[in-house]
Amino acid sequence: MTEISLILFIAATFLLAGFVKGVIGLGLPTIAIGILGVVMAPAQAAALLAVPNLVTNGWQIATGPGLRAILIRLWPMLAGICAGTWIGADLLEQQKNGSATLWLGIALVAYALIGLKAAKLRVPRIAEGWLAPLIGLATGVATAATGVFVLPAVPYLQSLGLDKDELVQALGVSFIVSTLALSVGLLGAGALDARIAWHSALALVPALIGMVVGTRVRSLISPPTFKLCFFAGLLVLGLYLVLRAAPWSL
| Tens digits of residue pLDDT in 76-134 | 999 999 999 888 776 665 555 566 677 777 877 887 887 787 667 789 999 999 999 99
Report residue 64's pLDDT band, with 50, 70 and 90 as the boundaries. Answer: confident
**Measured CA distances, 134 to 110, 153, 232 (Å):** 20, 10, 27
Query: What local confidence, expressed as pLDDT, does residue 100 receive?
Result: 66
Domain that holds residue 203: 3-249
Around Cβ 202, how many Cβ atoms within 10 Å? 15
Query: What local confidence, expressed as pLDDT, does residue 92 receive?
Result: 60
Query: What local confidence, expressed as pLDDT, does residue 211 receive?
Result: 93
170-225 pLDDT per residue, tens = 999 999 998 888 888 777 666 567 777 788 888 999 999 999 999 899 888 887 88
What is the pTM assigned to this prediction? 0.77
Interatomic CA distance for residues 79 and 154, integer angstroms: 16
Query: What local confidence, expressed as pLDDT, does residue 128 receive?
Result: 94
8 A C-beta contact, residue 46 and residue 179: no
Interatomic CA distance for residues 50 and 25, integer angstroms: 17
How many structural domains does the chain have?
A: 1
* DSSP designation for 54: H
